[in-house]
Structure 1
Amino acid sequence: MVSHQDIVADTDTNQLSNLQELQNPEGDLFLRFFIESGQEFALPAQGIREVLALAPDQITPIPNVSPVLMGVLNLRGQVVWVTDIGQFLGHPKPLDTDCQEISIIAIESQEITVGLAVDKVMDMDWLDADRLSPSLSAPDNMAPFLKGEWVLGDSEQYLRLLDPEAILRSARWAT
């Protein structure tokens, strides 16, 4: 016969086990997202300032700037440049802005903030950076902005890890 104390003790053990998993995850925390072409990417969580969902008219177009720039937005008083990260990485298909909201990932380093407009933000995942392999399948124009990639399952699908520092310091902003 099972007593109330056995049930409480078992529940406490399960909660402790779940809590230990949350406190001691394996790997590092990354934000996963998709660009318009359907490719999946990740960014390290520590370089992300915040994730926004904005109406397209909240991004103000700026004339005579690099074609990779969509415009600027006001992020609590700070002017932030926004780029279609898919086009920045060399994909010809632009982000569909004929929608109610655009997902923007604001990345930041040394007081520089840039908004990356993406097709769909997925979730945060703990991923093992030791399993990251060189990006051998990535196009040449994308390679400078990648730290590597994870192969997803047995397929030809990749989760590519972007280098936020390389994006922020890129000469593509001026062209």
Structure 2
Amino acid sequence: MVGNSDFETGSGPDQDPEFQELETPEGELHLRFYIQSNNEFAIPATGIKEVIAQSPETITPIPNVSPLLLGTLNVRGRIVWVADLGQFLGDVHPLKMDRSEISVIAVEDQDTILGLAVEGIVGMAWLDLEQLQAPQSAPDSMAPFVKGEWTMGSEEAPHQIRLLDQVSILRSARWAA
């Protein structure tokens, strides 16, 4: 393979004019997801421990805790509290538990892990922090946890992606309520 002449002459398949080069991504890698109200959010990939798709039956409800907490989950021997992120952010509709899988985003700060249950995962995306705008349309209930927002889509059908501060969510006093 080292002696392959394609490497030397530039006549390999990557020199084909129809071959598309990968573009260098701009910005930082984020996980995009949405909650029950279809509001879309992002968290920096560096702030995520892992994303888990779990059956609702594996989340053990715990009595006498905040109604925002759905229960606990055993992730490879470690107990992780799971919260309804939508309700935490002020969404009036609770997460629907009558389905085969729930997406849980595990975030960590100083050895504290919290699972944020969301309606669905959009995927990973490179988002440019230079295009991040001050949050303008975030309700008061979520404003302390939103760092900013991006406007995406067309002028006719724009939508916001709000950047969340996962550390503020993790350390919030709302969990004690």
Given candidates 160, 163, 171, the residue that maps to 1:161 is: 163
Equivalent residue, structure 2, for 1:40? 40
SS in 2 for 1:161: strand
| Deviation (angstroms), 1:122 | 1.2
How many residues are aligned here? 167
State TM-score, norm by structure 2: 0.88
Which 5+ residue runs of structure 1 have no aligned equivalent? none
Cα distance change of structure 1 residues 78 and 143 upon mapping to structure 2, 3 Å threshold: same
The structure that is helix-richer by fraction is 1
Q: Which residue of 2 aligns with 1:122?
A: 122
In structure 2, the partner of 1:149 is: 149
Identical counterparts, % of pairs: 55
TM-score in terms of structure 1 length: 0.89
Task: List 4+ stretches of structure 1 deviating above 4 A.
Answer: none
How far is the alpha carbon of 1:156 from its aligned partner? Answer: 4.4
Which of 11, 21, 38 matches 1:17? 21
Q: Displacement, 1:146?
A: 0.6
Deviations 1:37-77 (A, max 9, x none): 11111110001111111110100001110111000101111
Q: What is the CA RMSD across the aligned residues, in angstroms?
A: 2.0
| CA drift at 1:16 | 9.0
User: Distance between the aligned counterparts of 1:33 and 1:10, measured in 2?
Assistant: 39
1:24-103 pair list within 5 angstroms: 24-103=24-103
Shift of 1:107: 0.7
Task: After superposition, give the CA deviation of every residue in 1:89-133 in whole Å (9 maximum; x if it has no partner).
Answer: 011100110001111010111111100001111110001011000
**How far apart are the structure 1 equivalents of 2:20 and 2:93?**
48
Partner SS for 1:17: coil
How far apart, CA to CA, are the structure 2 residues paired with 1:156 and 1:137?
13
Residue equivalent to 2:137: 137
